[in-house]
């Protein structure tokens, strides 16, 4: 791992879902079911149509919520509360990841398209409480989701970070395009690598990547 690529990093920005926990824990599967149920009830469509709309809005707008707000004027508050009422016991603490994050120099923050109360529960379940200087959710971005440039601009301005001395860790590759354009070091956290110019590094194991960062 070339140390020089991260030597100037002073702010470490982490996505939440499928980034600070591995996909095999399948926490987000519960949220997808909740979202489909919510769409069925709110739009009065059957499950197949609701599931299609959930995925379509995610692909088109960045999140299902953004699509529901844009096309149906949905109030984000009740939606965010309901879809994140899930079973967190599928998550387990990761002491190695906690140690690796704690060892990073500078500030550590979370920036997620989910809401902050949910993010806090995930962090606690993973044994990562107390490691982050700030947690930003979609509410801090005025409900504009990643990958929208204005979402990043709003959150980064609120935090005061300098993108040129920051790194972004994210499971959704499209959410690394803006960070790359801003001059951030980008790391795609996913089971399989992708070859894209806005992806500088890939890892299937965040804790291992961070531990080897200074080798």
- Model confidence at 2, in pLDDT bands (50, 70, 90)? low
Separation between Cα atoms, residue 67 and residue 61, nearest integer Å: 6
Are 189 and 169 within 8 A, CB to CB?
A: yes
Separation between Cα atoms, residue 2 and residue 14, nearest integer Å: 20
Q: What is the pLDDT of residue 3?
A: 77
Separation between Cα atoms, residue 189 and residue 118, nearest integer Å: 20
Separation between Cα atoms, residue 100 and residue 126, nearest integer Å: 13
Residues 75 and 152 in one domain: no
Residues 43 and 130 in one domain: no
Residues 79 and 138 in one domain: no
* 73-97 pLDDT tens trace: 999 999 999 999 999 999 999 999 9
Residues 142 and 185 in one domain: yes
Among 16-20, 31-35, 95-99, 171-175, name the one with the lowest average pLDDT.
31-35
Range(s) of the domain holding residue 73: 27-83
Are 184 and 167 within 8 A, CB to CB?
A: yes
pLDDT at position 1 over 70: no
Are 153 and 135 within 8 A, CB to CB?
A: no
Residues 148 and 60 in one domain: no
* 178-198 pLDDT tens trace: 999 999 999 999 999 999 999
Q: Please give the model's pTM, rounded to 2 decimal places.
A: 0.93
* 87-145 pLDDT tens trace: 999 999 999 999 999 999 999 999 999 999 999 999 999 999 999 999 999 999 999 99
* 42-69 pLDDT tens trace: 899 999 999 999 999 988 998 899 899 8
Supply the CATH number for residue 209's domain: 3.40.50.1000
Beta bridge partners of 14: 110, 169
pLDDT at position 17 over 90: yes
Residues 141 and 209 in one domain: yes
Residues 75 and 146 in one domain: no
Which pair of tokens denotes residue 206?
A: 């965040």
Instruction: Provide the mean pLDDT of the chain.
Output: 95
């Amino acid at each position: 791992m070339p140390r020089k690529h991260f030597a100037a990093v002073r702010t470490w920005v982490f996505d939440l879902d499928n980034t600070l926990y591995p996909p095999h824990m399948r926490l987000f599967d519960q949220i997808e079911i909740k979202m489909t149920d919510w769409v069925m009830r709110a739009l009065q469509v059957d499950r197949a149509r609701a599931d299609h709309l959930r995925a379509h809005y995610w692909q088109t707008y960045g999140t299902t919520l953004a699509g529901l707000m844009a096309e149906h004027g949905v109030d984000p508050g009740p939606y965010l509360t309901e879809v994140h009422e899930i079973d967190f016991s599928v998550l387990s603490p990761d002491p190695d990841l906690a140690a690796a994050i704690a060892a990073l120099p500078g500030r550590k923050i979370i920036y997620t398209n989910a809401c902050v109360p949910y993010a806090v529960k995930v962090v606690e379940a993973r044994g990562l409480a107390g490691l982050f200087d700030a947690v930003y959710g979609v509410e801090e971005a005025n409900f504009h989701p990643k990958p929208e440039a204005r979402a990043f601009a709003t959150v980064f301005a609120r935090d005061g970070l300098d993108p040129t001395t920051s790194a972004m860790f994210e499971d959704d590759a499209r959410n690394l395009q803006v960070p790359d354009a801003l001059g951030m070091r980008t790391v795609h956290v996913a089971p399989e690598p992708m070859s894209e110019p806005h992806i500088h590094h890939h890892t299937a194991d965040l804790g291992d990547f961070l531990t080897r960062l200074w080798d």
